[in-house]
Amino acid sequence: MRVVEPNTMGQAGAEKRSLDPVTLEVIRNALPAISDEMSVDLQRTSYNMMIYEVRDYCTALLDTNGALISQNIGGVSHFVADLGVIVTDAVERYGLDGFSPGDVLLHNHQATAGQHLNNVVVYAPVFFDDELLAFAMVRAHWVDIGGQSTGFGAGAKAYDPWSEGLQLNQVKIYEGGVLDTKMLNFIRDNIRFPDNAMGDMRSQLAACRLGERRFKELLTRYGKDVVLAAIDRFYADTEKKCRVAVEKIPDGTYKAESYIDWRGGGYDIRVTVTVTGSDMTIDLSGCSPEREGGANSRTYAAAYIAYKALTTPLEPLNEGAFAALQVVIPEGNMMMARYPMVMSGWSMPLPTVVDTILLALADAIPDQIPAAHSGSLGAALALSGRDEARNRDFVLMSIESGGWGGRRDADGQDVSMSVCQGDVRNAPIENMELKGPVIIEERALRPDSGGPGQFRGGLGVQTRLRSLSGGRINVASGSGGRMTCPPWGLCGGESGETATTLVKTPDDAEFHLPDGQTAVWPPDTRVIYKTAGGGGWGDPLERDPERVLRDVLEGFVSDGAALERYGVVLSDDRSSIDVSATNTLRRERSAARTRD
């Protein structure tokens, strides 16, 4: 586990006087506001849909030890664990005196970042009175980084990092405010969509400069000692709140297992959670080992996300949120893969790992744990090629989300992004059709995809597209959810439907499962993305029949599922419930269970 020492530069001044509580609260709210303003700046000025529409990015301030000072609200959750390691790696390489005002660095190297290469970090040192105090950082998804990375990364096609794309390892694109034009031209020449990438880089840089400016304004107004002492206080306060939450969980050792598919093989997810007082250890050492060409990552993100959800889910994020957590992942594990293992599929296991950590605690705190959600970052919809009608290249991207699990007092959310994605969303149909040769023929809730339960699982989505031009389309079987390990139910709830992707070319008679990832699809290719639904919570026979009727009338649940899975008999005109028949059927089903 990465251990970050607290920033102690402001402690001497803080010891001479206590922090004014009003000032403390102003600074406490100002720091997240800086990251949020960076986010707005990035979104408004970026070039690619993955940033300005989907919001696949995060903006942050970090101290010189790599500790997270603040991150934007809604920033991609699974980026939280992989920002500080970039700072510590850079400081080890350059030394604290190796940075100058005006420096800007690029980084996506998997030896430290542990993600697919499309997630490019742009960051800049923050100096105050000639002293390096912090770093302003933006990680954002570029549409292309060379190699096979177009869209969402190389996925199953990559076999090593070099085949995936261009690796940027702590590259100083600006030194002392002077642009390295040779390096910039080198990057441009190795990217298919250089205008997009360079535009996004400038947007990231502008957001960093804004963060630098706002942080320096805060330092100027309140003084360095006060601000840094306040940051230390925020770390400690956040840790305390997390410990209070963990203390409410009964002491014990809790275990759970699940499974994911990848490239025709499988990965076992084995989780052990140990709670002792206010301390929690999440041990992922039982997960499958790293694999050539597999769904490898190098991150603590899954453990961090689950812990944050269990402790202070609505609190602003800083390094103190993880100070009381110990994460155990040995080198060579699929979650701590060693470079040069390819990591283009790094994010694929994370939502399932988070769900499995929560599952381990289902017996200890049953009222707080939902059924499993879709277990995927969503169906990755990407289409790129040449728009001959407009005489220009194009790249279109979206993420089609799935359902969340039911919980003790509510149905799961329909068509929501995974627990790993913050405020990520899909791209609007109108924007996609405006900017590329594609027609979105349908985007609708997927009936019966949510697992039955007293509180049903959320529904997935069904999205149909038709490409008017030949090009590369992200088509992979199972995109959008688990394939053979469906989102499980809890407390008697049933599993949600798994995901599937179907394709039909002009030469095909019917839609079919894709045979691998075809490089280029012909014009008039059609694709159907069906994402997974969430698991149900509680016995489906205990669901309020009126809620079942409403789901049928809304098209969320079919007539057949109402009868077979919920034991609800509708009137002939489907306008009401046959109460007597429903009660009789449910009693018979309950009695049959008892006999079995």
337-379 confidence digits (pLDDT tens) = 999 999 988 998 999 999 999 999 999 999 999 999 998 888 8
Residue-level pLDDT at 6: 44
Same domain, yes or no, for 502 and 557? no
Give strand ranges (E) for 35-98.
Answer: 57-63, 68-71
The answer to whether residue 301 sits within a structural domain is: no
Give the pLDDT confidence score for residue 354 in this predicted structure.
Answer: 97
- Condensed to tens digits (0 to 9), the pLDDT of residues 407-439 reads 999 999 999 999 999 888 899 999 999 999 999
Q: Indicate whether 310 pLDDT > 90.
A: yes
User: How far is residue 57's CA from residue 155's CA, in Å, rounded to a whole number?
Assistant: 19
| Band of residue 562 on the pLDDT scale cut at 50, 70, 90 | very high
Q: Classify residue 4: in a domain, yes or no.
A: no
Q: Does residue 293 form part of some domain? A: no
Helical H segments across 279-397, by residue range: 301-311, 350-360
Identity of the highest mean pLDDT range in 80-84, 480-484, 582-586: 582-586
- pLDDT score at 261: 80
Q: What are the residue ranges of helices labelled H in 98-193?
A: 161-164, 181-189
Same domain, 398 and 531: yes
Q: Among 107, 81, 82, which residue's Cα sits nearest to residue 94? A: 107
What is the residue type of 435?
A: K
Q: Tokens standing for 373? A: 């959600």
The pair of structure tokens assigned to 596 is 């079995």
Q: What is the CA radius of gyration of the chain?
A: 25
Tell me, what's the pLDDT at 17?
Answer: 47
Instruction: Please count the CA atoms within 13 angstroms of the CA of 191 that sit on its side-chain side.
Output: 27
523 & 585 share domain: no
Q: Does the residue 201 lie in any domain? A: yes
481 and 583 belong to one structural domain? no
* Residue 65 placed within a domain: yes
440 and 402 within one domain: yes
Tell whether 535 and 587 lie within a shared domain. no
- Is residue 132 assigned to a domain? yes
Parallel/antiparallel/unpaired status of strands 438-445 and 325-328: unpaired
416 with 489, same domain? yes
Enclosing domain of residue 479: 370-541
Answer yes or no: is 516 within a domain: yes
Q: Which of 241, 259, 287 is the last residue of a domain?
A: 241
Domain membership of residue 326 (yes or no) is no
Span 210-214, mean pLDDT? 98
Q: In what order do the strands lie in the sheet with 500-504?
A: 438-445, 461-467, 526-530, 500-504
| β strands within 337-455, DSSP E | 379-387, 392-400, 438-445
Say yes or no: 480 and 557 in one domain.
Answer: no
Task: Tell which of 222, 241, 260 closes a domain.
Answer: 241
Q: In this structure, are 398 and 534 located in the same domain? A: yes
Is residue 473 domain-shared with residue 556, that is, in the same domain? no
Contact yes or no for 86/138 (Cβ under 8 A)? no
Same domain? 448 vs 486: yes
Neighbour count for residue 220 (Cβ, 10 Å): 12
SS3 402: strand
Last residue of a domain, one of 219, 241, 263: 241
Calculate mean pLDDT across residues 577-591: 96
Length of the chain: 596
Q: Are 81 and 302 a contacting pair, CB within 8 Å?
A: no
Question: According to the model, what pLDDT value does residue 498 have?
Answer: 93
Domain total for the chain? Answer: 3
Regarding whether 381 and 526 lie in a shared domain, the answer is yes
